[in-house]
Structure 1
Amino acid sequence: MDWLLSFPHIDRRILTALKTSVDAWFRDVARALGSAADLVFHPLHVALGGFERFMLTVPWPLVIAFVALVAWLGSRSIKLVLGCVSIFVLIGLFDMWEDTMKTVSMIFVCSMLTIVLGIPLGIATARSERLQKAVLPLLDVMQTMPSFVYLIPVVMLLGIGRVPGLIAVVIYSLPPIIRLTNLGIRLVDREVIEAADAFGSTGRQKLFTVQLPLALPTIMAGVNQAIMMALGMVVIAAMIGVQGLGQPVLKAIANQYFTLGVFNGLAIVGIAIVFDRISQAYGERLQRHRGIGRG
């Protein structure tokens, strides 16, 4: 009856030998490619460092004024503008401005990189059934894999620092923008595509003048989700040296500083609300414009 209670498994010695050999192989690969990887990803280090220095040197009234302007242009809502301004003012009053600017810098660079990588991949996936069948299972794995796991190969390859954290955040936040770009393009009405074909549009013209404009609201939803997932990774990325609001949270956990953890956690929530509401506002405006165009 023991075999009913204990699931049969591979001999532990064989399993240990297999794991050891795979770990040794990956360590050898990481050592061999470490210098080349540092060179390849050096532009990311320069971009992140430069934008972080810029955000820390810009006077806080200009930052708040810029946030208010972006919120107004996207929503035309004074309530949203006042809400975004209030969040940043409270962050400054509670002495979290510097860490917040570091976090905003990280999220901005991650978001730009995610958009640059995700939208073209989503377009390619939408235009090829074979590629979609290959990519979708990979995206499923990327979305369900525990976020801590992304840190292991990146740290082994690049060590501790901001760039490994940035790469881990990008990998974690990439799937939604690829999925929703693919979905948005595939949901474009067939009649509209047929009309474009009837006018003799090329594939490039259909993409840039028909499919992408009509899919923009869905793509913006993907951008929104990518930003939210990137913000959710801030605390975890702080474990490998990413500066910002995540590090005080880790410090609070290690030393049982309740107020430090709560305040910085609420600051992350506030930044997430600002990004979420502004990106949603732009997506809704695009949706209204699409509806007017169809009418």
Structure 2
Amino acid sequence: MFSPGDLLIIPFDDWVNDFVRGWLVPNFRPLFRAAQVPITVVLNGLDNFFNAVPMLITTAAFALAAWKWAGRGIAIFTLLGFAFIDMIGLWPQTMTTLAMIITSVLFCAVIGIPVGILSARSNLMWKIVRPVLDIMQTIPSFVYLVPIVMLFGVGMAPGIIATIIFALPPIIRLTNLGIRNVRGDLIEAAQAFGSTGWQMLIDLQIPLALRTIMAGLNQTLMLALSMVVITALIGAGGLGLVVNTGLGRLDVGGATAGGIGIVILAIVLDRITQGLGEKNPANTVSLRSTLFNIFRFKGSSPAAEVKKAA
């Protein structure tokens, strides 16, 4: 049977290798290495902090957060789960993994929320961003590791960069969705009373979209947790290193222990972030309170403005 490959063979892999090795790495590797500095600073600070705080204090803090935002059951699970992690000797690795996750999610939020807002306010921006997100979400996670190693080297910071790239799309997509789904009548009312675009964004669109944004943050967190395990292959530490070491040595017990630690941490973080989104007061923002927030910048109330208009 005839196929296009019989007529033409495209050396795509050679083109990519020539581009990365022949141009990108020699010319831009110092720039990429310098970009690691803020990530390294935040990561090392969090890692040192979590490992310095006594286990009981950290456990109590997470249990109280779980009690407030996720309920008594998750608070008890947090106490028992963290105690189990400590008793199997994986507390330092768990705290390193927690530092990696928080660092990744922090940078994802700093990058993703503004990009999502811009995408919601500009159809052209969304048309540009959407295919990029499609590519980021469909490329297998292991594929990220090769260019990351070539451009950034190995270690925890390059692992965080790979995690940020892998976990970024959900928060961009759901921020865009949340801003776009704000009711049109509220936007028209805000515009009719003379609010600026910035006021409308801060006091109307973001509060009403906050539940959707928090759902995106939750999904980003879960993707980051899955990716930090894979990045152990390029020198990242934490529970991922425990799992990969167990696999390499056929140590079923060690790999299982690391996996259970990851599951416990994932459940705790997932339930707390879900609770933050579901119980946020901004979910019940009314038209009256929204307009009051808008007019707060002008030093007047909705009633006074309506009176003037009348």
Task: Provide the TM-score with structure 1 as the length reference.
Answer: 0.92
Match runs of 1:240-259 below 5 Å: 240-259=234-253
Deviation at 1:251, TM superposition (A): 1.3
The residue number in structure 1 matching 2:296 is: none
The residue number in structure 2 matching 1:95 is: 89
Report the Cα distance in structure 2 between the residues aligned to 1:133 and 1:147, rounded to whole angstroms.
Answer: 24
Report the Cα distance in structure 2 between the residues aligned to 1:221 and 1:283, rounded to whole angstroms.
Answer: 7
Say what the alpha-carbon RMSD is for the aligned residues: 1.7
Mapped pair 1:280 → 2:298? no
- 5+ long unaligned stretches in structure 1: none
Task: Provide the TM-score with structure 2 as the length reference.
Answer: 0.88
CA distance change for structure 1 residues 94 and 66 in 2, over 3 Å: closer, same or farther?
Answer: same
CA distance change for structure 1 residues 26 and 10 in 2, over 3 Å: closer, same or farther?
Answer: farther
Mapped pair 1:263 → 2:257? yes
Deviation at 1:57, TM superposition (A): 1.0
Query: Once structures 1 and 2 are overlaid, which stretch shifts more, 32-41 or 187-196?
Result: 32-41
Match runs of 1:26-37 below 5 Å: 26-28=20-22, 29-37=24-32
Report the Cα distance in structure 1 between the residues aligned to 2:285 and 2:212, rounded to whole angstroms.
Answer: 17
Alpha-carbon contact 1:178-1:222 (below 8 Å) kept: yes
Return the match for 2:142 from 148, 151, 159: 148
Report the Cα distance in structure 1 between the residues aligned to 2:48 and 2:198, rounded to whole angstroms.
Answer: 39
Deviation at 1:32, TM superposition (A): 2.4
Deviation at 1:54, TM superposition (A): 1.3
Report the Cα distance in structure 1 between the residues aligned to 2:7 and 2:161, rounded to whole angstroms.
Answer: 37
Report the Cα distance in structure 1 between the residues aligned to 2:6 and 2:94, rounded to whole angstroms.
Answer: 49
Report the Cα distance in structure 2 between the residues aligned to 1:168 and 1:213, rounded to whole angstroms.
Answer: 31
The residue number in structure 1 matching 2:66 is: 71
Deviations 1:51-95 (A, max 9, x none): 1111111111111111122223324x2222111222111111111
CA distance change for structure 1 residues 251 and 187 in 2, over 3 Å: closer, same or farther?
Answer: same
CA distance change for structure 1 residues 155 and 134 in 2, over 3 Å: closer, same or farther?
Answer: same
CA distance change for structure 1 residues 93 and 210 in 2, over 3 Å: closer, same or farther?
Answer: same
Mapped pair 1:50 → 2:53? no
Amino acid at match of 2:125: L
Number of aligned residue pairs: 287
Q: Secondary structure at the match of 1:15?
A: coil
Percent identity at matched positions?
Answer: 43
Amino acid at match of 2:186: V
Return the match for 2:284 from 269, 272, 291: 291
CA distance change for structure 1 residues 289 and 129 in 2, over 3 Å: closer, same or farther?
Answer: closer
Amino acid at match of 1:291: T
Q: Secondary structure at the match of 1:230?
A: helix
- 5+ long unaligned stretches in structure 2: 289-310
